[in-house]
Structure 1
Amino acid sequence: MTRNEKSIPVIIVGGGQAGLSMSWYLCHEKVEHIVFEASTACHSWDDERWDNFCLVTPNWQCALPGHPYTGKDPHGFMVKQEIIDYVKGFVDSFSPPLREHTPVTSITRHENGGYRVIANDEVWHARHVVIASGAYHDAVIPGYASAIDPSILQVHSQDYRNAAQLPEGSVLVVGSGQSGAQIVEDLFIEKRKVHLCVGSAPRVSRFYRGRDVVDWLADMHFYDLTVDNHPLRDGARDKTNHYVTGRNGGHDLDLRLFAREGVGLHGTLETIRDDVAHFLPDLSENLDDADKTNADIKHSIDAYIAREGISAPTEAPYAPVWTPEARNTPLDLKAAGITSIVWCIGFRPNYRWIDVPVFNGAGKPLWNRGVTNAPGFYFLGLPWLHTWGSGRFSGISRDAAWLASQITGHDVAVA
């Protein structure tokens, strides 16, 4: 270590809810550490969400360590500003050693053990490094997008704010995961004509047999399901989240209902060539598969209710309210009056700044409960880090406590 190099036992990269949860445990264990955040602690909630964004999980699942939800609506859904206030309240509750506006640009192994971390041109040495910067780094926009007529505005979901941001005219939304389905509803409420390219994302009902589906699944310990016990094993990490919404108290997002009310549904977008969108012939299949996933979840709840002898109201099976026509017709963007495209096809992780052998050939990190094969190097806050709940407010605390136990060498109780 050179004279200009600073040393500290633990460095946490990322000051969102995951990195802050890690810091909370280390503070309580009196482990010296620092949290580097490239922007601000709440920037992703403030800068990368649309105006009407709200949680799709009920407020009672907001359980950061030592900072449970204490509001008056545990079964409601926090809107954007409430989420920001909740996370800021968590920061204020324990004053973490947080360095905002301090991007980490390089991590390498140190010749004397541990890791060499460059942050804002400062050089640090740490025995332990926790990467809590998430997995949603580079917005995915296909290469052919550059050939689309520049008069058609293109934005990624992270840059969408509201309908007024887009020029007058119809909107093409590409991708039907959580963001795509909710943005379609946001535009539809504002009386915009919308076309949606429907992918393979599954759906789930908001309520079933008298309760929020999340409540049922929590009682059934679904969120405690570990990736090792999932039928898909590591493949679970590549699955798209179910689309549903917490808007206005929460309700289903039924794409068939959207179609019946005027939204144009199309299959998976294959390409856009000469300003004509071409789709795969999979619309019916994608809608049917999403409905089947929803039905399977309901069946599992039915079985649980019967097994436990729970008294709950019955509910009729879902009946499709709209069925697509068999033909697979391309969409001429100009003829359809489309003046903007919202890309909702996700993100790619970007860990190119990490020169530590903890990645597979595709550049994805490898871990077991966040612990990598590189001694003292960890990941936190990723979907399915250990359980289905790992990527939620409800599961971060347990994962952070586990990593804190790896750092301290003794069991750390989950707060």
Structure 2
Amino acid sequence: MPVHDLNPARTDLPVVIVGAGQAGLSASWYLCRAGIEHVVLERNVRFHAWKNQRWDSFCLVTPNWQCKLPGFAYAGDDPTGFMLKDQIVDYVEAFADSFDAPLREGVTVTRVVQDHDGRFEVDTDAGLYRSDHVIVASGGYDRPVTPPFAADLEPSIAQLHTRDYHRPGDVPEGRCLVVGTGQSGVQLMEDLRIAGRDVALAVGPAPRSPRMYRGRDATDWLHEMGHYAITIDQTPDPKATEAKTNHYMSGRDGGHEIDLRRFALDGLPLYGSVTGMEGTRITFAPDLERNLDDADRSYVGIREMIDAHIEKNGIDAPEEPPFEKVWRPETETTEIDAADEGITSVLWCIGFRPDYGWLQVDCLDATGRPVHKRGVCDAEGMYFLGLGWLNTWGSGRFLGVGEDAGHVARVIRERLGTQRPDRRFA
């Protein structure tokens, strides 16, 4: 992979971009077209997370047609399919190769401060940069989340996080307790079961979605209905929206929905949310049935939205039978002994947190979340890209990240006084 090094003496630039994933390189694409000089700094290699922090069977959960990086919409022969990990890497690499980004790989940003003139000093392990604008596109997946009580679990029981898992062989023999039912948790549970491994699942409050409904993928219906064009400011509670867990379903083997009740019928042990660990003792909240009900409520709600859209517009679509709960827990298990249950490992799938410890600019709230309006901060010259719900549902995905990058690039262009046709930022 080529590394597009700048002249080392040229470290005073209009824009510095931190991170060379799809968000950072989308911003670079727009800045290159506008003739705005910049550098993209990446501590690893471009698209490091796609290459090294996804499991082998990983695939998209949204259809390929939603991949719309700037000037590089999906053009393959399976728009309604779901790209596998290696295909995703090929797609983003081809996007990066489609233009000449001023990229420096293996450069870690260690500190960003704003001086009294309003300019930024960007300290790195390869020297100091100064710039008028900084785009933070480092993503929100720096620190895997594990609860403090995980440290009290019997040391002989292996603990892994989503980022550590690549294939079933990474998990010791014996039963694996998968914790969390977001998109990663349910897919890794299924990955292990397909491999014939013994699995149990701690069910959290994540919502679920239909896959195919009334003849089309549910995401196709929602896109047609304008659901993905809704901005975070249009939602009833923007803070709650920003914190929402994604609906779970799968793109594996052509795509399917995941009904945990059916897995339970097939022998998968289900528990509620994990509340504590001590030695081999693991405790759970008595919330399994509530969490299953809440996930189904989301599932049924999406179906009802689609039904209403079909009826309102007189669309000819096949009917579907009503949803039925095929299983419910007779009791709620709130405590187990891992040794008695044969549990030899715990796979944590409860998310990540960003690490902005290097960012010493007044642009974060008390919880460490960026404060911005569609990526543009009150601290003039500071921007964020690639975060979930930066503006719309698609902001953290291939669907919307390019539009947000175009918006930020347009703001920068206007602030720099660069005269370029608006069509470059369409």
Query: Under TM normalisation by the shorter chain, which class is it?
Result: over 0.9
2:248 alignment partner, SS class? coil
Aligned with 1:371 (options 352, 373, 376):
376
Aligned-pair CA distance for 1:306: 0.8
Separation in structure 2 between the aligned mates of residue 197 and residue 324 of structure 1, nearest angstrom: 13
Aligned-pair CA distance for 1:327: 3.2
Matched, 1:88 2:93: yes
Match of 1:126 in 2: 131
Matched, 1:304 2:309: yes
**Alpha carbons 2:176, 2:199 under 8 Å: kept:** yes
Match of 1:221 in 2: 226
Aligned-pair CA distance for 1:134: 0.7
Aligned-pair CA distance for 1:87: 0.5
Match of 1:192 in 2: 197
Aligned-pair CA distance for 1:412: 5.7
Letter in 1 for 2:279: D
Matched, 1:72 2:77: yes
Show the 5 A alignment for 1:114-263.
114-263=119-268
Aligned-pair CA distance for 1:234: 2.3
Letter in 1 for 2:377: T
Matched, 1:343 2:356: no
2:405 alignment partner, SS class? helix
Show the 5 A alignment for 1:40-79.
40-79=45-84
**Alpha carbons 1:173, 1:197 under 8 Å: kept:** yes
Aligned-pair CA distance for 1:146: 1.8
1:248 alignment partner, SS class? helix
Question: TM-score when scaled to structure 1?
Answer: 0.97
**Alpha carbons 2:135, 2:385 under 8 Å: kept:** yes
**Alpha carbons 1:5, 1:122 under 8 Å: kept:** no
Separation in structure 2 between the aligned mates of residue 68 and residue 354 of structure 1, nearest angstrom: 33
1:297 alignment partner, SS class? helix
Separation in structure 2 between the aligned mates of residue 363 and residue 9 of structure 1, nearest angstrom: 26
Aligned-pair CA distance for 1:151: 1.5
Per-residue deviation, residues 342-395 of structure 1 (Å, max 9, x unmatched) = 000111121110000011111111000111000111001100001111111010
Separation in structure 1 between the aligned mates of residue 425 and residue 298 of structure 2, nearest angstrom: 32
Per-residue deviation, residues 16-69 of structure 1 (Å, max 9, x unmatched) = 000000000000001000000111112101111111000001000011001111
Separation in structure 1 between the aligned mates of residue 318 and residue 68 of structure 2, nearest angstrom: 29
Aligned-pair CA distance for 1:413: 4.6
Per-residue deviation, residues 228-275 of structure 1 (Å, max 9, x unmatched) = 111222220101000000000000111111111111100010011221
Aligned-pair CA distance for 1:184: 0.4
Match of 1:392 in 2: 397
Matched, 1:352 2:353: no
Identity of aligned residues (%): 49
Per-residue deviation, residues 66-105 of structure 1 (Å, max 9, x unmatched) = 1111111000000000000001001100021111111111
Aligned-pair CA distance for 1:408: 0.5
Larger deviation: 143-152 or 383-392?
Answer: 143-152
Question: TM-score when scaled to structure 2?
Answer: 0.95
**Alpha carbons 2:162, 2:349 under 8 Å: kept:** yes
Match of 2:6 in 1: none
Aligned-pair CA distance for 1:221: 1.1
Aligned-pair CA distance for 1:153: 1.1
**Alpha carbons 2:33, 2:424 under 8 Å: kept:** no
Matched, 1:331 2:356: no
2:98 alignment partner, SS class? helix
Separation in structure 1 between the aligned mates of residue 337 and residue 345 of structure 2, nearest angstrom: 13
Separation in structure 2 between the aligned mates of residue 124 and residue 84 of structure 1, nearest angstrom: 30
**Alpha carbons 1:36, 1:119 under 8 Å: kept:** no
Aligned-pair CA distance for 1:328: 2.7
**Alpha carbons 2:206, 2:245 under 8 Å: kept:** yes
**Alpha carbons 2:63, 2:80 under 8 Å: kept:** yes
- For structure 2, the residue ranges without an aligned partner over 5 or more in a row are 1-8
Moved over 3 A (4+): 410-415
- For structure 1, the residue ranges without an aligned partner over 5 or more in a row are none
Match of 1:30 in 2: 35
**Alpha carbons 1:171, 1:340 under 8 Å: kept:** yes
Aligned positions, number: 413
- Seen in structure 2, the aligned counterparts of structure 1 residues 412 and 126 have a Cα distance that, compared at 3 Å, is farther
Letter in 2 for 1:269: V
**Alpha carbons 1:228, 1:234 under 8 Å: kept:** no
**Alpha carbons 2:154, 2:278 under 8 Å: kept:** no
Larger deviation: 227-236 or 248-257?
Answer: 227-236
Separation in structure 1 between the aligned mates of residue 26 and residue 344 of structure 2, nearest angstrom: 43
Show the 5 A alignment for 1:281-296.
281-296=286-301
Aligned-pair CA distance for 1:298: 0.7
Separation in structure 2 between the aligned mates of residue 263 and residue 414 of structure 1, nearest angstrom: 49
Separation in structure 1 between the aligned mates of residue 78 and residue 184 of structure 2, nearest angstrom: 24
**Alpha carbons 1:245, 1:253 under 8 Å: kept:** yes
Aligned-pair CA distance for 1:5: 8.4
Separation in structure 2 between the aligned mates of residue 29 and residue 118 of structure 1, nearest angstrom: 26
**Alpha carbons 2:64, 2:79 under 8 Å: kept:** yes
Match of 1:13 in 2: 18
1:9 alignment partner, SS class? strand
Per-residue deviation, residues 291-335 of structure 1 (Å, max 9, x unmatched) = 000101110111111111111001011111111123334121111
Larger deviation: 170-179 or 142-151?
Answer: 142-151
2:28 alignment partner, SS class? helix
